[in-house]
Chain A
């Protein structure tokens, strides 16, 4: 099985790795690069646990062919923090009890970060829309929405 070389940017760092033919980006990031922050939940694009950004847009890593990220900028939840300094969204999720089992959390954070990057002061409805592709089964939507809004509010008044 011929491997396919892929060079791309992963959380701001240039990386080169080999993908299998037909391998999805989720497996490529997890097994190939050891970035375990995106999660497998369905392999069908239904749950959003594997959400990453590609060139700033949220996408579902399980439905992206790994070889197509050649030359592109891929970011995951593992890249949200700046060294030991967490992203304000990560702090807000901790403060607002916005995670229970934690499995949907990385994908949820990536969607929330993408929202605030393009719309720093979203309404509640816009927050709900932005995380509508991310399922949480421990029924934590309310604290998640509150956590995101708390960061948006902080920025709005800053």
Chain B
């Protein structure tokens, strides 16, 4: 049966993470496993209040790992993240699900992590100084990477960040795929483009092909067509109950183009 250990601080919780233990944040992932009888035998959690803290001012915002989607939506300074947080779950899940947990949510969940990847977020792990690129944490997430304490997100220039999530059911549905684009412009030319995709591989990933197609270009018709045509290049999306690999490959470019167009017109 499940044993739950609760610690007052994240550092103590991190030290308690022995082999085979699992960390429980908002519960939306781990409690499913508990209910299904497939959870780790030991669950570690903490009531550390620092995990719920967020700092929304300045060029880099800081989100405690336990910050919920609802907290983000309640913070006007985090408006660039609102379109992302709003597409996570329904209201109840947004009141429970956390930004830290989203980094570990397998497809068809985990769309917030896709946005963090495009935004170039960095992850602070408990008991360590400095922060790691979110890429590293996503890459290593199947292994024990340590406990996430907070996530630092560079604030994008106004209008340079866009996000879309494709689902069959609206307004609340799991993800067929999601796309996040950071596309800053300098004098009408795209510079430092980051494009992240969810549902197009084993986890959130960056699309080098689309980034190459956009970087250094003007966002004109030719560029849009080029980005659309290479959107699935080199990717092996999954086939599951929601959509086939073929379908995902066919539509990802269409949705990417629409997203880019909507960013350009807004």
Interface size class of A (residues with CB under 8 A): 20 to 34
Given A22-B4, A60-B96, A43 contacting B36 (CB threshold 8 A): yes
Contact B90 A134 (CB under 8 A): yes
A20 CA / B2 CA spacing, docked (Å)? 9
Contact B3 A63 (CB under 8 A): no
Contact B32 A133 (CB under 8 A): no
Contact B39 A22 (CB under 8 A): yes
Contact A62 B35 (CB under 8 A): yes
Contact B32 A45 (CB under 8 A): yes
Contact B90 A44 (CB under 8 A): no
Contact B171 A45 (CB under 8 A): no
**Interface window among A5-13, A51-59, A92-100:** A51-59
B interface, over-half SS = mixed
CB contacts under 8 Å to A, within B104-147, are none
Contact A45 B95 (CB under 8 A): no
B31 touches which of A20, A24, A114 (Cβ 8 Å): A24
A24 CA / B32 CA spacing, docked (Å)? 10
**Identity of the chain A residue whose Cβ is nearest the Cβ of B68 in the assembled complex:** A57
Contacts of B35 in A (CB 8 A): 24, 43-44, 62-63
**Identity of the chain B residue whose Cβ is nearest the Cβ of A115 in the assembled complex:** B91
Tell me if B78 is interfacial: C-beta within 8 Å of chain A: no
Tell me if B157 is interfacial: C-beta within 8 Å of chain A: no
Question: How many whole Å from A42's CB to the nearest CB in chain B?
Answer: 9
Contacts of A14 in B (CB 8 A): none
Question: How many whole Å from B105's CB to the nearest CB in chain A?
Answer: 12
Contact B27 A64 (CB under 8 A): yes
A interface, over-half SS = mixed
A43 CA / B33 CA spacing, docked (Å)? 9
Contact B95 A58 (CB under 8 A): yes
Tell me if B253 is interfacial: C-beta within 8 Å of chain A: no
A64 CA / B3 CA spacing, docked (Å)? 15
Tell me if B16 is interfacial: C-beta within 8 Å of chain A: no
A64 CA / B35 CA spacing, docked (Å)? 11
Given A64-B27, A111-B92, A22 contacting B34 (CB threshold 8 A): yes
Contact A22 B2 (CB under 8 A): yes
Question: How many whole Å from A63's CB to the nearest CB in chain B?
Answer: 4
Tell me if B21 is interfacial: C-beta within 8 Å of chain A: no
Report B's interface with A, CB cutoff 8 A. Answer: 1-4, 6, 24, 27-28, 31-32, 34-36, 39, 43, 45, 70, 89-93, 95-96, 171-172
What 20 additional pairs, Cβ within 8 angstroms, besides A48-B90, A129-B91, A132-B172? A21-B1, A22-B43, A43-B32, A45-B28, A59-B92, A60-B28, A60-B92, A60-B96, A62-B31, A63-B27, A64-B27, A64-B31, A64-B96, A65-B31, A65-B45, A68-B45, A111-B91, A111-B92, A133-B93, A134-B90
A-B contact pairs, 5 of them (CB 8 A): A22-B34, A58-B92, A58-B95, A63-B96, A65-B45
